[in-house]
């Protein structure tokens, strides 16, 4: 039987009349279990409440963690309070306050935490936190990072500063360099692979550490990347290098002395429609895959770094994904709500959002994908359409105990659609359940598009769609 093409990436059309692919809250992964189907679609992660005692007051501004600092505790800046949380869920508070209401930036050494909030730097030794007191700190700080146990911080006038080793609150008026590749302001400093990366509005400069020279501890690498940065919080340091949004609204990735575009046009159009300050990027690894997550006020686009394919994520009732600031600690991933009002654990083991407990379902996640049947001409009979994938996986009772998936069809490139029709995917143990749609009509060039939608609280995977059966 003929096989349809699953949408292993999202592709949003620019205007009505154009075709598009839909992949929302699902993504592709390699599947070695079937030699004829080497890829499958899997469900994206849900969230579990990591603040069951309601400690957080509702304005999370930063998340941070380092194994060597504060016994590896999670650090949560909640309004003006710096909270700690152990892996076992015990909460604490670091003495002192951090003024400001903005999205904060953080950096950690072996012995100190630095927080940039409201334009000021605060330093903690793990027991208390206070604003820096050295009068030589500049007043135009834009970001923080740590390299060679020194605090690095950029300023909007094109300079980056450095502290003494293991003392964030000790600088002199000469502890700075000027980024010289172009007369542009510095958006941010970030560290990757023993390089301090100076992201400017027009260029990216790379500096390296020379610890043996206490008075001149950094030098600029010879190459300057002629690509700037749109906003500080679009930068994410992935295992293969930094990824960020350039001033022309493209997502780019560092590759030697260049930064080629890695985003499709539809992502650039969504970025262009956003306020730069609303863009927040994160990165995380899970089950052998790595993701760059770009979250805006009105969209969330995610690149799978394993294959470069993009998909969208949405929270039920919203155009964007509620979760930002992904923090990896050990084998777990933590997130805060974009509004700052919740702190969660992120995992595919949780099939819904904001679950109160592992077995207590929360808000449904609506998952959608399309399949595509190309036609060269004529009006071929589609006959029966069959969905292949997970069958017989369900909850013991209640919502999700007898899961269904919906399908609708379009014969004009996705401009008009038939009504959705439901089919079962099988109660627990019904592994031979067939998800079959009969009497699907006739196709029309250039293609028939089918859209599947699932809102059941079960983890699913789909390997293909076949069509053309007449019985």
Q: Parse the chain into domains and list their residue ranges.
A: 5-44+366-469
Write out the two tokens for 172.
């002199």
- Distance between CA 217 and CA 161 in Å, rounded? 11
pLDDT of residue 34: 80
Residues 6+ apart with CB under 8 A from 360: none
- Distance between CA 449 and CA 183 in Å, rounded? 50
Residues of the chain falling short of pLDDT 70: 180, 470-471
Q: Please name the fold of domain 5-44+366-469.
A: Jelly Rolls (2.60.120)
Q: Max CA-CA distance within the chain?
A: 82
- E strand or H helix at 271, and its extent? helix 265-272
């Amino acid at each position: 039987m003929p096989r349809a093409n699953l949408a292993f990436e999202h592709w949003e059309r620019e205007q009505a009349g154009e075709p598009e692919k839909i992949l929302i809250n699902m993504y592709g992964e390699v599947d070695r279990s079937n030699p004829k189907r080497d890829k499958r679609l899997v469900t994206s992660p849900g969230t579990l409440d990591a603040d069951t005692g309601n400690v957080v007051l509702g304005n999370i501004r930063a998340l941070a963690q380092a194994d060597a600092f504060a016994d590896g505790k999670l650090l949560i800046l909640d309004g003006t309070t710096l909270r700690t949380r152990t892996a076992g869920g015990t909460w604490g508070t670091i003495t002192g306050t951090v003024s400001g209401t903005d999205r904060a930036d953080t950096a950690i050494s072996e012995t100190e935490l630095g927080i940039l909030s409201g334009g000021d730097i605060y330093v903690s030794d793990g027991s208390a936190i206070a604003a820096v007191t050295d009068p030589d700190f500049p007043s135009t700080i834009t970001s923080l990072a740590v390299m060679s146990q020194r605090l690095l911080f950029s300023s909007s006038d094109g300079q980056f500063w450095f502290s003494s080793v293991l003392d964030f609150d000790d600088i002199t008026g000469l502890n700075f360099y000027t980024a010289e590749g172009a007369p542009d302001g510095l958006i941010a400093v970030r560290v990757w692979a023993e390089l301090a990366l100076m992201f400017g509005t027009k260029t990216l400069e790379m500096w390296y550490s020379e610890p043996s020279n206490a008075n001149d501890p950094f030098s600029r690498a010879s190459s300057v990347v002629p690509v700037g940065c749109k906003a500080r919080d679009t930068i994410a340091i992935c295992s293969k290098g930094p990824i960020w949004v350039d001033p022309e609204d493209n997502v780019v990735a560092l590759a030697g002395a260049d930064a080629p575009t890695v985003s499709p046009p539809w992502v650039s159009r969504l970025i262009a429609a956003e306020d730069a300050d609303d863009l927040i990027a994160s990165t995380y690894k899970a089950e052998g895959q790595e993701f760059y997550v770009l979250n805006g006020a009105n969209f969330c686009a995610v690149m799978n770094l394993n294959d470069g394919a993009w998909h969208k994520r949405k929270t039920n009732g919203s155009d964007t994904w509620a979760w930002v600031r992904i923090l990896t600690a050990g084998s777990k991933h933590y997130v805060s709500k974009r509004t700052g009002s919740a702190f969660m654990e992120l995992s595919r083991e949780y099939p819904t959002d904001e679950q109160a407990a592992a077995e207590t379902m929360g808000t449904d996640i609506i998952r959608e994908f399309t399949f595509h049947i190309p036609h060269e001409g004529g009006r071929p009979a589609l006959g029966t359409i069959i969905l292949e994938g997970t069958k017989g996986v369900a909850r013991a009772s209640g919502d999700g105990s007898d899961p269904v998936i919906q399908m609708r069809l379009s014969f004009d490139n996705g401009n008009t659609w038939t009504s959705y029709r439901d089919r079962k995917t099988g109660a627990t143990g019904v592994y031979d359940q067939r998800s079959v749609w009969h009497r699907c009509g006739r196709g029309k060039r250039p293609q028939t598009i089918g859209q599947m939608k699932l809102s059941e609280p079960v983890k699913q995977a789909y390997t293909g769609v076949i069509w053309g059966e007449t019985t």
